[in-house]
Structure 1
């Protein structure tokens, strides 16, 4: 879809709005994290405003293991990744962490398994029946992760007849969707610190992985057909960073700017950087400060990218994407520091930007100047990103509650729903149904 903007008395073509606020999923697919456009916006569909365990649930299927990756869908098949853990006793857990050099004071916020089995599971979209379980790898003595994370948090991506599963340091796998066979696999060792998080993205013939660890930070482009490395680009030099504040977990977005430049926008610790996806060559960079462990996926509209700066003190930035080189002093439209999430991604719709903080405060900003229009405590803790469908915004919390709000310049809560389990994964929307994953099951919710 082409986007235009009124500038100096005339309509100016702004390019192809890949992250715009009218995402059309006519083919009934949900191929990546936050949908076809990667922004959590769904047009032309609706799902129930009110639901529960006993209301509007067409089916519910238990899932093995622990994983916060979102479901992806194509050709009436749902795909999810999972990590089945071999649990350690309390004594084994302490011993394993000490063996890894983890200080006692940091152990409370971490989890560790004796071994993990990485799996890819397919389910029938209509019935919820499990169609296949594909073993990908068994990892002995995996690193410790944050207690809020999982070993299977990155969301896979569907491209044509293949599905790409990424587990950070534990491997990247290209799976044939028809045969279930692994077409190729690669492994890029990385010290995540608290586990994997960044989801893969396919742009043309390139599979892009963000590799921002404590020990090394780079972005890599692979040939999606063979897995061979096409390019590898190191991140910009950090300013007064420690290994812990060098890591990040963001998922890139792909956009075209008003000059027709195709950009791969990759958020990281301290720096936001745009690259050429075919070559890995840097287009522009921006220093956003001391933010690190960035999780929220950016959103894009009319030559401006909107993003959170991650942990530390999260900030919301609006930056023009039409520059070259270091644009830190020239392309910042506005910033905001109040109620900004470190985990959930923002949602942009009709000139307004919606966020929910990690501790359950929803806010709305005007994208033109960053003015906060309202702030509303909806309660709970949040990791999943909001989704807009049927003209309403759905926020899923750790305690299984889904708050439904009407978008607009005033806060308006329409419904509060609840399902069993913990919601850490962002939902998928197809065929007027919400495919919702919790820590123990997956649901099809529809009228």
Structure 2
């Protein structure tokens, strides 16, 4: 009798184990595969289950499952959940701003909603070409789509119907060259960044209601003198486009946000500034890279003399860390737009004009560099040990993420010219071209 009971217990345990394993394996496929512009972990890394089957080669007739037509213009990255791909567009003059949902499997347009109309719009000035009025990407939560156009408007939509649940059009900022920072969703908070010429601040909204939970202005001293001896009072010297990183340091969740002339870290719960790092650049547009196992934040400082800075973080980090917590600084050869990716202790990054470099994360030493064709605004993705880069002419280059340079494939599809980061879901790559959204997938 005892043996029978023991056998039943073992069988029951095995059944439970198999059931839990099936849930674990299935869970990533049922929720948001690419809920943020930099993927599920905000670092551009593709889930292992998808990485194995991503195609390496494609043409306009091979391994392109479909292409869906897009209207007007935008830089926003596709985000994907529950079988729908979401992105935004805007008219060239910025007077109308739209959100679009596309069926992930068929490419059918499911929703094309005019969300905001603007009577008055700031001119983009010299930013025309690398910015427009639909640059921030959407972010996805359970049953919800959060759409953001900077000071022109922020809204929460029902993911099934695209109906507006709440909207805010009272978050001011003189963008000067257009908005660029995307929203970040963490638990019940939607974090928004506004770095304009008139004011620079970060705010957290209640994701459920849209109510403001906190607002913290940057503590940066913009009144000090620049290199030309003049006060940094206006224009690009105060601008930034950075989407913040959300990182866990001990028991504390921090918001790492890079602005002009300095970056700050804020407590996610309260908005309290925790520490700051000074730098000499502006127009920062690259999200910080967080390496939790090394307790390092990799910071790109901006567009003028952009530096790559490794900052050591722990629970005691506070105040001005410029002279106390910097592990290394890479002075030259850094991008303005494309976010770096880390793999096996190596950092890979591509500059605007296509210089790809491999850097040792421990000391910032350059191990190799190699030119890949074209100009780059889009951040790469990492799938297994393969890096995927997409340039502004439609060329997709696949590179081995290793200590020696090795190009695996180059794929030229002119209509695939992109300024938006690629996205991945269900073993397919989604690339936003100027006129179409492409789905790249092996049969």
TM over 0.5: yes
Give secondary structure in 2 for the equivalent of 1:168.
Answer: coil
How do 1:202-213 residues align onto structure 2 when only pairs under 5 Å count?
202-213=185-196
SS at match of 1:47: coil
Name 2:276's counterpart in structure 1. 285
Give the greater-gyration-radius structure (CA): 2
1:312-371 deviation digits (Å, cap 9, x = unpaired): 111111001221111111100001022100111111111110110011100010000000
Q: Aligned partners of 1:144, 1:355: CA distance in 2, in Å?
A: 31
- 1:75 counterpart = 2:82: yes
Query: Are the counterparts in 2 of residues 47 and 390 from structure 1 also a CA contact under 8 Å?
Result: no
Cα distance 1:394–1:194, how it changes in 2: closer, same or farther (>3 A)?
same
Query: How many Å separate the matches in 1 of 2:212 and 2:375?
Result: 39
Q: Deviations over 1:64-115 (max 9, x none)?
A: 1100100011111111111133xxxxxxxxxxxxxxxxxxxxxxxxxxx2x5
Q: Which residue of 1 aligns with 2:11?
A: none
1:30 to 30, 34, 38: 34
Residues 220 and 261 of structure 2 are in contact (CA less than 8 Å); yes or no, is this contact kept in structure 1? no
Contact 1:29 1:36 (8 Å CA) reproduced: yes
Instruction: Report deviation, 1:280.
Output: 0.3
> Contact 2:337–2:378 (CA<8 Å) still a contact in 1?
yes
Quote the Cα distance in structure 2 between the aligned partners of 1:336 and 1:399: 29
**2:383 paired residue among 369, 389, 395:** 389
Partner of 1:8 in structure 2? none
Which residue pairs with 2:57 in the alignment? 50
1:143 aligns with 2:122: yes
Q: What's the secondary structure of 1:140's corresponding residue?
A: coil
- The answer on 1:358 being equivalent to 2:352 is yes
Q: 2:299 aligns with which of 303, 307, 311?
A: 307
Query: Are 1:214 and 2:214 counterparts?
Result: no
Q: Could you state the TM-score of these two structures normalised by the residue count of structure 1?
A: 0.86
Q: 1:344 to 1:25 in 2, by over 3 A?
A: farther
The answer to whether 1:248 aligns with 2:252 is no
Equivalent residues in 2 for 1:232-271, closer than 5 Å: 232-238=215-221, 239-240=224-225, 241-243=232-234, 244-257=236-249, 259-271=250-262
Q: Secondary structure at the match of 2:42?
A: coil
Aligned to 1:62: 69
Q: Does 1:431 align with 2:431?
A: no
Contact 2:276/2:321 (<8 A) preserved: yes
- In the other structure, the counterpart of 2:265 is 274
1:25 Cα offset (Å): 4.5
Give, in angstroms, the shift of residue 43 of structure 1: 2.9
Alignment of 1:329-368 (within 5 A): 329-368=323-362
Report the secondary structure of 1:354's partner residue. Answer: strand
How far apart in 2 are the matches of 1:140 and 1:66? 19
Aligned to 2:176: 193
Q: Secondary structure at the match of 1:170?
A: coil
Runs of 5+ in structure 1 lacking a partner? Answer: 1-23, 86-112
Do 1:25 and 1:36's aligned partners in 2 also have CA atoms closer than 8 Å? no
Say whether the 8 Å CA contact 2:350–2:356 is kept in structure 1: yes
> TM-score when scaled to structure 2?
0.87
Structure 1 ranges of 4+ moved more than 4 A:
none
Unaligned 5+ runs, structure 2? 1-26, 226-231
Query: How much has 1:189 moved relative to structure 2?
Result: 2.4
Match in the other structure for 1:178: 160
Q: For the residues of structure 1 that align with 2:137 and 2:147, how far apart are their CA atoms?
A: 7
Aligned length: 394
Match of 2:13? Answer: none
- In the alignment, is the contact (CA less than 8 A) between 2:135 and 2:179 conserved in 1? yes
Query: Which structure features the higher share of strand residues?
Result: 1
Distance in 2, matches of 1:311 and 1:40, equals 21
Query: Partners in 1 of 2:47 and 2:131 — Cα distance?
Result: 31
How far did residue 117 of structure 1 move? 1.4
